[in-house]
Structure formats: C-alpha cells, structure tokens
Amino acid sequence: MTHLSLASIALAAVANLTYLPQVNANAHQNLRQTKNVNSSNAEENTQAFDFFVLSMSFQPEFCHAHKRDGYAGCEDPQEFWRGSLTLHGLWPENNDGSWPSTCTNEKFNPKTVSDLGPDRFDKLWPNVKSSESSRDHTSFWDHEWTKHGTCTGLAQDDYFDTAMKHFLPTPTIVRDNYGATVATSDLIAAYRADLADEYGDVVLVCSGGRYLSEVRVCVAKNKDGSGSHRIECIPQVAGEGNCGSEITIAKFYIDEEDEVALVTEEEEEEMMDVKVE
C-alpha cells in the first residue's frame, strides 16, 4: 500500500478548494461541441435545422472564472449585468440533438452593430473581453455569426435582431440574491412565473454544478429561418442542465474586492477609536 505524505495530502486539499468555475466554466459548451455534426456540403444545409437554442450567460460568473485575465468588461461592468443575464447566442439545432455549424463563408460585417445600435449590443449581448475602443471588440459577435448565424439563412441584421428580440428577461430573484444562494426550484419557479404566457421551463447550467452560468430556452423556427415562439426543449438540450438543489449567484469579483476594502476601513476606524479612548 502506498502512503501519501502529509505535504501531498495538504496540496491535494488546497487544489480541491480552488474555485470550481475556473475549471468547469466552459465544460457544458465543450460537451455541445463534441456532438456537433458538420457537413462537407455545409452551404447546401443552410436553414436545414429544426429549432433554435437561445443561450444567455451570467457575466459575474464568467468574469469570476476568468479573474486573472482582467477583461475590460469585468473590471468595469455595466450595472445592468449585475442583475440580468445577457445573450450568449442563438444556435440552430436539430431534433436529433445535432446541429449545423459554419455553413457559409460569409464574413461578419461590423456594420450590423451600427445598424442595430451599439448600445443595444453592449447592454444585451456584451463582449466583456474587450473595451469598446479595442480592435477585437466585435470578435464575440463575429464568432457567433460565423459558427451559428451562417446556418440560419438569415441576413446578418436579421439574425442578430432575431436573437435580441427573443432576449429572455431575468427574474428579480437573481438581482435580489446577488452574491447569495437560492434554491434551484425557486429560480425555476421565478422563470415560470415570468413566462406565464409562453412555455415557461428553462435549462439551468451551472459551473461546477453550483454557480449560475447560463440559462437556455428553445425557440421554434419560422419557415424563413427566423425565431417564433418558445417551445419545450428536446431531452438532449434539457439534459445540459446540471445545477444541484442550490445555486450560488456569483458577484463580479471587483464587488467582492470592494467589500474586503470596506471591511478593512471599518476595522481601521475601530482601531483608531480604541486608541483615542
């Protein structure tokens, strides 16, 4: 029998305490990539899909998982992002669980952003990795168009406008519990209440099975490739939900640092009071 040293046991314990999202933040997306089916005649398969998956991300969690990268939007986030998820993408999907990808060679046109409104993009579909003045500020939207939008048969303006028109409002339970933990059943119930006039179920994706990362819904497709009404997700998409019985609503790491600084100041004031007395 091999005996571990105290030092190796201690190192293993520290590793297990590492913030889970740093390891698992993109695990669900990787799973989706492994079952993707590309066609050698991709351009012929444009619009050859059955419905959309609308995915929305929680930026405080994304930023926490990438804390060491110092992304511009994480260092100076919009207030709106603290209480609302934002668009990740609108993805064509097939009823068998596969999906088309990169169906044409049409390049992303940055004019789409100015056509639909830069402020609209930056609020609802932000690229937190770069600042508005950065050369790669449109890289996120470029990626979503190239990989997913080219398979819809929609013009670029129509694809992005369709996604933003299906923007999924976030229940107030997220804002009210910023930095706290909620029961998964309560979050699902909140979404169902807010979506009472449509199919109300959502797919909740959590980093490490615990930290709210993404929320997904399924949207029917019109004949012209645009989005229609919400529908029940197929089992393959529903199975991407991986949250436990409780979900932690992460804070932007800069908010956590502010709290630490505030406590430190209060402690210093108390020390000064003691000295005066």
C-beta of residue 217 within 8 angstroms of C-beta of residue 230: yes
The whole-angstrom separation of Cα 53 and Cα 92 is: 6
The whole-angstrom separation of Cα 214 and Cα 229 is: 20
The whole-angstrom separation of Cα 93 and Cα 134 is: 32
Q: What is the DSSP letter of 203?
A: E
Dihedral sign, CA of 42, 45, 50, 53? positive
User: Residues for the chain: how many in total?
Assistant: 277
C-beta of residue 165 within 8 angstroms of C-beta of residue 146: no
The whole-angstrom separation of Cα 125 and Cα 119 is: 10
Rg of the chain, C-alpha, whole Å? 21
The answer for residues whose C-beta is within 8 angstroms of residue 116's C-beta and 6 or more apart is 157, 160, 161, 164
Q: 207 by DSSP, 3-state: which?
A: strand
Active-site annotation, residues: 88, 144, 148
The whole-angstrom separation of Cα 254 and Cα 130 is: 17
C-beta of residue 160 within 8 angstroms of C-beta of residue 146: no
Q: 92 by DSSP, 3-state: which?
A: strand
